[in-house]
Amino acid sequence: MSKFVKNLVTRDISNRLEGVEDAVVVSTVGMDANTTVELRTELAEKDVQMMVVKNSLARRASEGTKLAPAFEGASGPIAVCWGSTDFVSLVKTIVALDKDSDKYELFKAQGGAMDGEALDAEGLKAVSKWPSREEQISLLVGQILAPGANLSAALLGPAKMLASQVKQIEEKAEDSAE
């Protein structure tokens, strides 16, 4: 490949990865075209983009960005995955596909970059166990609403008990009047 073509391809890769700060690097070497199309469709449904690149060109395109650590030590053709609602959801999707060896046996998560730090395959598995953005929001909302719910229960509890006792006394009075 001539230097001019390499520069064009590098610029294209750089433009496509512009604004991407977190990504996962995977290997799809040996996958046939039909399986790759199925994989891309499944990833697109989860708002994940995948681009197959030559590692040396990806390194050149990501120089000076937060993605640069993802390509350190990569060998052969690789695929870069990015997108989804947040990085944890992206990693969960990729790790789940990596575990599904029946469908995509040649799909292997190799590493990635999160906040400018390199992650290896084990690091990706650890991140996949973190709560996603939606789970974090639900935990936070639950913690915010819990004191109010506890206060409401504390205030309404004695009143309900008092109302129950008044009702029992009223029923006893009606029974004795009859």
Residue 106, both tokens: 């040649």
Burial class (CB in 10 A: 0-12, 13-18, 19+), 106: middle
Residue 127, both tokens: 């991140």
User: Residue 48: helix, strand or coil by DSSP?
Assistant: strand
Residue position matching structure tokens 């008990």: 161
User: Cα separation of 36 and 163, whole Å?
Assistant: 67
Mean pLDDT, the chain, as a whole number? Answer: 85
> What is the separation of C-alpha 142 from the centre of its chain, rounded to a whole number of angstroms?
21
Residues of the chain scoring pLDDT < 50: none
pTM, to two decimals: 0.71
Contact yes or no for 92/45 (Cβ under 8 A): no
pLDDT of residue 178: 67
pLDDT of residue 101: 66
β-partners of residue 51 are 80
pLDDT of residue 81: 92
pLDDT of residue 7: 85
User: Cα separation of 23 and 59, whole Å?
Assistant: 13
Contacts of 61 (CB under 8 A, 6+ apart): 10, 11, 13, 14, 17, 53
Contact yes or no for 42/97 (Cβ under 8 A): yes
User: Residue 94: helix, strand or coil by DSSP?
Assistant: helix
Compute the C-alpha angle 151/152/158, nearest 5°.
95
